[in-house]
Structure formats: structure tokens, C-alpha cells
Structure 1
Amino acid sequence: MTKVNREIVISEALDLLDEVGLDTVSTRRLAKRLGVEQPSLYWYFRTKNDLLTAMAEAAMAPHAAAPLPTPDDDWRDWFLDNTRSFRRTLLMRRDGARLHAGSTPASDLDRIRRKMDFLVASGVPERDAQMAMLAAGRFTVGSVLEEQADADPRDRSDPPADMPAIDHESAFEAGLTLILDGLVHRTAARAASLSADDRLTTGGRRVQ
């Protein structure tokens, strides 16, 4: 019998995910894999959803370990690198995007706040920074969902003969560039507006 603790349960659950896919992961299969009785898993996780949440958080460990931005970083390069890191991490696990979708690991909230603070300190309007991070995250999850579905032979159907094959990485990079371009444009427009306001103000009083 395997000596079991919470970390071992999560690790074995992720290995099971890689082997059989998210639809086939069950506490019964996991208990058999661990050599324990199924009810003993409830000592660590009250419900299967609790287990899946813990699995999603653990699966994000490579992205969560990436260095946080520093004041010397170019925010545009960082935005690209951060989103690419998220994509790479989702792709590390079978059905990684499906596992992650809808989850918000609590341990990542402080890192998210620090990333947002970096963007705002770099001149990105706060609301735009929030929406761009949200859009990039959801775009990445959706892109990986499609990519992993195409990689699963059970879900694959033959495309029309005249439809070119999709290069998932190129499509992802193109979409990511569009998101960043929009954010750069809005940030530049805000900076120009603030500069115009400064030129209209003399000694703290607006010129009429």
C-alpha cells in the first residue's frame, strides 16, 4: 500500500489525468491507483470538485513559479511572455485547459495583484490592464482547449478537403499580438490625453 498524504493524492491524480483524460478521472480509479479504499480520499478532499480544484492549482505550478515582473521590465514584452508561459503550462497536462477553466487558485491572487500593479505603474490604465489580462487569459484557455481537442483522436474529425490545417501556435501568437496591440493603442491614447491636459494647465489653473 502506498503511503498517502495530500500531496501524493494530487500528484497521482494528475498522473491519472495524463493517462486517461479528464472525463475518466474518478475517485474510484484514483483510490485503486493509490491502493486505498475510496472513502479514505474524503479525508483529504470532501468532494471530487475539491480534488479537481487542487489539481488545477498544482498543474499551474510551473507558471506560478515564473519570476514576477520588475520595474525595469518592458511591460509589452512581459505581457507576451506571461501569456506564453500560461499557455505552455496548460499544455503540460492532458486536458489542462479543461481542468483549469473556471478555477481561480487562491494562492495565485497575490501574484495577480502584483502583476496588475506592475502594468499600472508602467502607465497602463488600471481598467484596461484588468480587461487585457482577463482577455488574454480567456483567449489562451480557449486556444488550448481547441489545440488539445485536436490532439485527442477521440475528438478528431476529418476536416473538409479544402480547409488548411491549423497551426495552433501561429494562430495563438496572432491573436495575442492583436490583444497587445489594442492595449498599446489605448495606453498611448491615455498618455496623449494626459499630456494634452498638462499643456492646457498653467500654474495649476486650466487655461480658458
Structure 2
Amino acid sequence: MVKVATTRLDRALVARTALRLLHETGLQGLTLRAIAKELDVKAPALYWHFKDKQALLDEMATEMLRRMNADLPAELPADWRDGLAAAMRGLREHLLRYRDGAKVYSGTRFTDHAAYAGPMERHLGMLTAGGFTPAGAARAWFTAYSYTIGYVIEEQSMGPDPASGEEGAEGVEGYDLAARADRLAEHPLAAAAGFELFSDHDAGFEAGLAAVVAGIGSLMK
């Protein structure tokens, strides 16, 4: 248990503690009461900083974003296709470091405007330099971003969870694909699909990302 008798309780400390505790509890089990226990304080102390769980999730997502920004390259690729794909790979890599990371990150409102506006400006600038209009660049970014978030939500939900690193979660038992195929023997295409969809998340992500980037180049530029 973290002891904070001589440490100032603030939003950043609570968010970091919540991200660490997420490894054990998952999103569903993460409560302000559990975080207060981990910090060795009373639950009402946290309500000075967060009015509810959604406010906490907003801060957790912002802390995740700050950590992502620390890994951004000094220079973006000259080709927008390479830059967009690299950004989505980086997003996925970071989300997988946390149990239920994509669920925590999606649908939140960042509390530090500079943390997302600066990097977003760089990536949109990369796209406009590649020939997109400002509106097209925004739509291209959001399309690739939505694909990545959705893919990781599914990836982490179906298990095994590939999370790793300091805040990583141990995975749960994955699908028994052979048993699934037996159950769906009367539907051979659906049975075979399981081996494609559930056996290699990295390859699946790359295949989908390539299709998204190609589609963006064809339809949005």
C-alpha cells in the first residue's frame, strides 16, 4: 500500500495511483474508494480533486497522453502515410501498457489542453503538408484514431491481454480456437474466421491499418 503521510495529495498523484491500481482491478473494479485505500486516505479526500469517476478517468487519460507525448519523435516522417501509421502504432502500443487501457482512454476529455493540442497540431500539419485540406486532415486523423481505439478495445476485451510494462496487466485465458471451430462446424467460414481474427493481434492490426491509410489516401485527400 502506498503511504502518503508526507506526500501532498493532488490530482497527479491520484491519477498515477489509479493507473497502477488498474493493473489489479480492471476498469470495472476501479473505484475512488479502492484508490483511497491504496493511498491510505479516506475516500472523501479524493472528492476534493474529482467529483466522480468520470472526472478521474479524464485525468487518467490525460496522464496516459503525457506519457505518450514523451515518446514522440523529434521529427515526423516526411510521408504522411508513414507518419499517420507510426502515430497509430504508438497509440496502440501505449494503450496496451494498461489493463483496459483503451476503455479508459476513449470518450474522455483531456484536462491539459497543451498535452493534446500541441501534438495534434504537429500531426495535422504533417497531413496538410501532404496535400490534405485542414478539414480533410482532421477527418483523416479521426478515422485512423477511431480504428485504433476500437481495435484495442476489442483486443483487450477478448484476451489474452498483451499489456506489458510498469502499468501492464497480466492477460486472461484466451479463446480456444479449435473448440470454437468445432462448435461452428456447420458454418465453415465463420469457424475459419476465428483463426484469422483472434490468433495474431499484431498482424490483424497492421492489415486493418494499411487498409485505413489506403482508404484515407483515396477518399479524403
Q: If the TM-score is normalised by the length of the shorter chain, which range does it land in?
A: 0.7 to 0.9
Q: Give the letter for the 1:139 counterpart.
A: Y
Match of 2:121 in 1: 113
Which structure 2 segments of 5+ residues have no match? 161-170, 182-190
1:147 aligns with 2:155: yes
Identity %: 33
5 Å-filtered alignment, 1:51-66, equals 51-65=56-70, 66=72
Q: Distance in 2 between matches of 1:104 and 1:46?
A: 14
1:185 aligns with 2:185: no
Q: Which moved more, 1:42-51 or 1:101-110?
A: 101-110
Match of 1:131 in 2: 139
Q: Distance in 1 between matches of 2:32 and 2:219?
A: 48
Q: Distance in 2 between matches of 1:134 and 1:68?
A: 22
Q: Distance in 2 between matches of 1:62 and 1:102?
A: 18
Match of 1:67 in 2: 73
Contact (CA 8 Å) 2:11, 2:59: kept in 1 or not?
A: no
Shift of 1:111: 2.2
Shift of 1:158: 4.4
Normalized against structure 2, the TM-score is what? 0.76
Which structure 1 segments of 5+ residues have no match? 191-208
Contact (CA 8 Å) 1:69, 1:78: kept in 2 or not?
A: no
Match of 1:205 in 2: none
Match of 1:7 in 2: 12
Q: 2:106 aligns with which of 83, 101, 112?
A: 101
Normalized against structure 1, the TM-score is what? 0.80
Q: Distance in 2 between matches of 1:121 and 1:104?
A: 28
Shift of 1:21: 0.3
Give CA-to-partner distance per residue, 1:8-54, whole Å, 9 cap, x none: 21111111111110000001111111110110111222222111110
Q: Distance in 2 between matches of 1:20 and 1:141?
A: 21
Q: 1:80 aligns with which of 71, 85, 101?
A: 85
Q: What is the aligned residue count? A: 187
Shift of 1:73: 2.0
Match of 1:199 in 2: none
Which is higher, the Rg of structure 1 or of structure 2? 1
Contact (CA 8 Å) 1:128, 1:183: kept in 2 or not?
A: no
1:169 aligns with 2:202: yes
